[in-house]
Amino acid sequence: MDDKRTIIIADDHPLFRTALQQAIGQAFGDCHIHEAGTLDDLQQKLEEVPHADFLLLDLQMPGTFGYSGLIFIREQFPELPIIIVSGNEAPATIHQCLNYGAAGFIAKSQSLPEMAEALQAVDQGQPWIPEAARSSRPAPDPDKQDVARILGSLTPQQYRVLSYMAQGLLNKQIAYEMDLSISTVKAHMTSILKKFGMFRRTQIVAAMKQLDLEELDQPQNSV
């Protein structure tokens, strides 16, 4: 019987995926490792490997905005432990990731042994975050939690439409990017508005701002 762990790495930087593979090797030895560079790739991998031991997810990989990738994957795969990896090491970011269901947080500036330690902790069911952020954890914001709950209820296609809308794309542009008819995009938009209990796309965009990382201190040279 194959007792190797199965781990998915979702990050758009090949060099950092390699670093994570090395940390995985230090933590567990030989493993089955699957890689994804975009959220679309990740969704395909999760369908191919539905029983992965855990997921290493770049907080700001292509196809996501703010915390949306974490929230959406958390709701779609509630049993899958998700470890966030990010160059944004602000304690507020780390605590918010935990509030949205992450099992741990690895800063991209950490050493390989520290990353391996984090992986081992989460593998044993223990939440892990960098030492600098191990202070009192603020309570979740109810308004943000409401937005997160609705976001998690979207279908994959609706999520993609919402993601493009949050980037400022018009229906015609979204239709082109997703290879859909404009009428199909409008139908998705109607469903999204209904789920949020709103009437205009500007209201949706404003709600999505609650999931932004803009208000946090972001490193200028993060990868």
CATH number of the domain that 84 lies in?
Answer: 3.40.50.2300
How far apart, in whole angstroms, are the C-alpha atoms of residue 102 and residue 94?
9
Phi, psi of 2 (to 5 degrees): -80, 115
Q: How far apart are CA 172 and CA 179, in angstroms?
A: 10
Residue 47: Cβ within 10 Å count: 9
The per-residue pLDDT string of the chain (223 residues; one tens digit each, 9 = 90 and over) reads 568 899 999 999 999 999 999 999 999 999 999 999 998 899 999 999 988 999 999 998 888 888 989 999 998 899 999 999 998 888 888 888 998 999 999 999 999 999 999 999 999 988 888 887 777 666 677 778 888 888 889 998 999 999 888 888 999 999 999 999 999 999 999 999 999 898 888 888 888 877 776 444 444 444 4
Query: What is the extent of the structural domain holding 168?
Result: 142-211
Do the domain assignments include residue 188? yes
User: Which pTM was predicted?
Assistant: 0.82
- φ, ψ of residue 35 to 5 degrees: the values are -120, 150
3-state secondary structure at position 82: strand
Answer yes or no: is 73 within a domain. Answer: yes
Domain assignment of residue 1, yes or no: no
Instruction: Say if residue 125 is in the same domain as residue 152.
Output: no
Angle at 176 between CA 174 and CA 182, to 5 degrees: 65
Of 94, 111, 133, the domain-final residue: 133
- Residue 220 within any structural domain of the chain: no
The angle, 0 to 180 degrees and rounded to 10, between the axes of the packed helices 14-28 and 112-123 is 60
The answer to whether the beta carbons of residues 223 and 16 sit under 8 Å apart is yes
Distance from CA of residue 138 to its chain's centroid?
20
Question: 123 vs 75, 85, 151, 167, 204, CA distance in Å?
Answer: 20, 16, 27, 35, 37
Residues 172 and 117 in one domain: no
Closest to 122 in 3D by CA, of 102, 105, 103, 137: 103
